[in-house]
Each structure stands twice: as structure tokens, then as C-alpha cells.
Amino acid sequence: PKQTPTAPIFTSGYNQVQTGFNSQLKKSISSGGQPTGRTGASAGLTAPRRGRGVLNPQNLTPGARVPLCGQCNLYIRGPFITALGKIWCPEHFVCTNEKCRRPLQDIGFVEEDNGLYCEYCFEQYLAPVCSKCSKKIKGDCLNAIGKQFHPECFNCTYCGKLFGNSPFFLEDSLPYCENDWNELFTTKCIACGFPIEAGDRWVEALNSNYHSPCFNCSKCKVNLEGQSFYAKGGRPYCKSHAR
């Protein structure tokens, strides 16, 4: 059966309110009305610097420069160790942790805060803790949203997709991939199905949201923003096509 209009034509006074409301919505979205993650973000990858010292025999070449230990600031008259562009007496090339002082020549080192540490002390006392799994991060570390993660632990809250170098979007301080964030949190135009972006003009009518260019007569497609229209079957119509 033929449907009849379920709502009267809006008056000119109401049209003025409707147009003003669109302007307020635009201002609200531009100033942060949309979810906080819309600008996107990315994670920074860091890794501890590891290495091994090189033992050098005493240089007896006439006129050669006598090495100076970077730890005790004394000249080294015997073999010396080089690492990271610095020189050490063999007895001073040890773990920085005062309670350890383990020689590093044969086991390698991890550099942290300008100090050299054995692997045990780094993992025990200095390695960051992953904000998701609560385990120590011994290798590559992702720094994002003020927290630290294993690369394999920093993923979309909804679908679990790893971000890698891709941008992510925040909602209630939780990260989402762009597809899920758009699907879950953006206001969508009921006419075209696409998100209403920050700064877009939009219309709220018939308990739905529309981009301003999408708020058209369901029959002839004439734009109805700020115009009188009929509501029929939950859809907008111009006066000519409402009956």
C-alpha cells in the first residue's frame, strides 16, 4: 500500500534551528568531538646495544700513543680493551653493576644509560617490562602511547592485527587498527555509509546522521539541508515527492 507522510513539513523557523545545529556540530567535531585517535599515531622501535670488547696487545711501536683508560684515566702499559670507541684496562672492563662487576671480555655486554652490563644484570634490573604480557623485553622494544611492548604484543585491541610500522588509533587509551576504529567508533552517514570526518558538515534528522550533501530527497535527490521536508517510511522527501 502507498505510504503517507508520517510527519508534517518542518516550518521555516525549524529550518533555521536545523541549519544552526549543523554549524554547531561542525564546530564540535573540529574541536575534538570525534574520538581521540582520529589523528593516528605510530610506534617507535628501539633495541639495546650489544657488543664484545676487543683485546689489543701492548703497542711497543716507537712513538706510538700510549692508551688512556676511560674508566680510571690512567695510561695503560700493557694489553687493553677497545669497545664502542673507548679504551679500558682489562681489569676495568667489567659490569657496571657494583654488586656484580663481572668481567665482560669473554661474555659480551649490553650498553644502557652510558654503562656496560652483563646480560644477566641487564635482564634482571634494566630491561623494560612489556605493558601487555608483563615479561621483560630483552630485544626489540616498541615505544607507543607512553608504554613499552614486545613488537609481537602491540596489536589491535579488537582484531589482534600487529601494527608494525602502520599507524594506530586510540579510543579510551586502547589502540585499534584504522579499519576497526572506523567501524567501531566513527559516526557514519546512513545514506552513503562512510564516516563523518572531523570538520564535515552533517545533518541529524529522523534519528540518523547524514553528510550534508547526502541529506537528499529519497526520490529526486534534491538536497534538503535547511529545507522543509517530509518524513515518510523513515526517509526524507521533498514536498513534491512526499505524497
Give the burial class of 189: count Cβ atoms within 10 A of its Cβ; 0-12 exposed, 13-18 middle, 19 or more buried: buried
Q: Which fold has domain 12-34+186-241?
A: Cysteine Rich Protein (2.10.110)
Question: pLDDT by residue (tens digit) across 71-116?
Answer: 999 999 889 999 998 999 999 999 999 999 999 999 999 999 889 9
Beta strands in 96-195 (DSSP E): 109-112, 115-117, 141-144, 147-149, 169-171, 174-176
Q: In whole angstroms, how large is the CA radius of gyration of the chain?
A: 33
Strand partners, 54: 82
Residue 13 DSSP symbol:
H
> Is 231 a residue whose pLDDT tops 60?
yes
For residue 128, give every residue at least 6 positions away whose Cβ sits within 8 Å of its Cβ, in sequence order, or none: 136, 137, 141, 148
Ordered by start, the domain boundaries in the chain are: 12-34+186-241, 50-107
Q: What was the pLDDT predicted at 226?
A: 85
Which helix or strand (DSSP H or E) is residue 237 part of?
strand 235-237
Kindly report, residue by residue over 137-174, the tens digit of the pLDDT: 999 999 988 899 999 999 999 999 998 778 899 988 89
Handedness of CA 43, 44, 48, 50 (dihedral sign): positive
Scan for cell 700513543, then name that residue.
65
Q: CATH topology of 12-34+186-241 equal to that of 50-107? A: yes
Are the C-beta atoms of 236 and 215 separated by less than 8 Å? yes
**Residue 39 in this model has a pLDDT that exceeds 70:** no
Residue 82's DSSP bridge partners are 54, 87
Residue 116's nearest CA partner among 45, 73, 56, 52 is 52
- At residue 207 the predicted structure's pLDDT band, cuts being 50, 70 and 90, is confident
How large a percentage of the chain has pLDDT more than 70? 81
Residues forming a β-bridge with 105: none
What is the C-alpha separation between 88 and 203, in angstroms, rounded? 72
Question: 48-72: per-residue pLDDT in tens?
Answer: 999 999 999 876 666 678 899 989 9
Q: How many CA atoms lie within 13 A of 118 on its CB side?
A: 16
CATH code assigned to 50-107: 2.10.110.10
Sign of CA dihedral 29, 31, 33, 37: positive
- Flag whether pLDDT at 201 surpasses 60: yes
